Structure 1
Amino acid sequence: MAQINTDTKILVNVDELQHTDRYFSPESQYYRTQNQGGSEIDRGYESEPGDYMCSAIMACLCCCWPLGLIAMHFANSANDARAQGHFEEAREKNCVAIIMIISSVISGILIVGAVVVIRLSSQ
């Protein structure tokens, strides 16, 4: 175990640092390395996928709620995948969530428009 001593006396296990993923949050970039068979593979920088949970909740509450619930499910799954470091899976689930959010908004607009037309034509 190698130790790095600074003014605050922080002890660091260098072997553990080599096997962990490193986050650079100010740039919203993720740098990942993997160890396979004793050699380290550099995967480089990957940008983190977005978080669409707030948009999905708004689509559920304000537009077509069945499609909004589906969007919330996929946004939550994408957030879980992102937290585990599976960025490609998170991007795929975010794409489905965005499609469901857009579908919910369009469906909500069409439903409200149809109700308004029906109400105005019945008077």
Structure 2
Amino acid sequence: ISIAYTAFSPRPSISRHSSIATNPPMDRSKPKDYLILAVIACFCPVWPINIVGFVYSIMSRNSLEQGNIDGARRLGRVAKLLSVVSLVGGAIIIVACAVNLNVSANQNIRFF
């Protein structure tokens, strides 16, 4: 908490101000929204998770357009996490189905 004088008031105001000396400058580069990753994840068979990841990606892009860089970065991280979980889960489901189909196909072969 620091005491600062405002332009409209001769009295000090107690408010929180960030200090360059105490807070290191954050990376202000454009945050990623991971939209391509979210679209690719939509083709995996984990639909509730990948659709939510896609929505978070769109929300990240909208936050960046509104100037909320921290919000866009946070939403982009959630979109990336959900998209990666969807891709890994989808790969596991596809492999499990392929193994199950292969096993059931081999059991139907009869030798006379």
TM-score by length of 1: 0.61
How many pairs were matched up? 85
Name which structure has the greater RCO, CA cutoff 8 Å, separation 6+: 2
Tell me what 1:19 maps to.
none
In the alignment, structure 2 segments of 5+ residues that lack a partner are 1-5, 8-24, 106-112
Say if 2:72 is the partner of 1:83: no
Contact 1:60 1:66 in 2 (8 A): no
In structure 2, distance between residues paired with 1:57 and 1:65: 12
Q: Which of 48, 55, 65 is the aligned partner of 1:73?
A: 55
Contact 2:33 2:75 in 1 (8 A): no
Say if 2:62 is the partner of 1:58: no
Tell me what 2:3 maps to.
none
Aligned alpha-carbon RMSD (Å): 2.3
TM-score by length of 2: 0.67
In structure 1, distance between residues paired with 2:73 and 2:52: 16
In structure 2, distance between residues paired with 1:105 and 1:63: 9
Sequence identity (%): 27
Query: Secondary structure of 2:33's match?
Result: coil
Say if 2:102 is the partner of 1:120: yes
- Structure 1: 4+ residue segments shifted above 6 A: none
Tell me what 1:25 maps to.
none
How far did 1:75 drift?
0.4
Query: Secondary structure of 2:83's match?
Result: helix
Query: Secondary structure of 1:61's match?
Result: coil
User: Which structure dedicates a bigger proportion of its chain to strand?
Assistant: 1
In the alignment, structure 1 segments of 5+ residues that lack a partner are 1-36
Q: Which of 62, 87, 93 is the aligned partner of 1:105?
A: 87
Alignment of 1:27-42 (within 5 A): 37=6
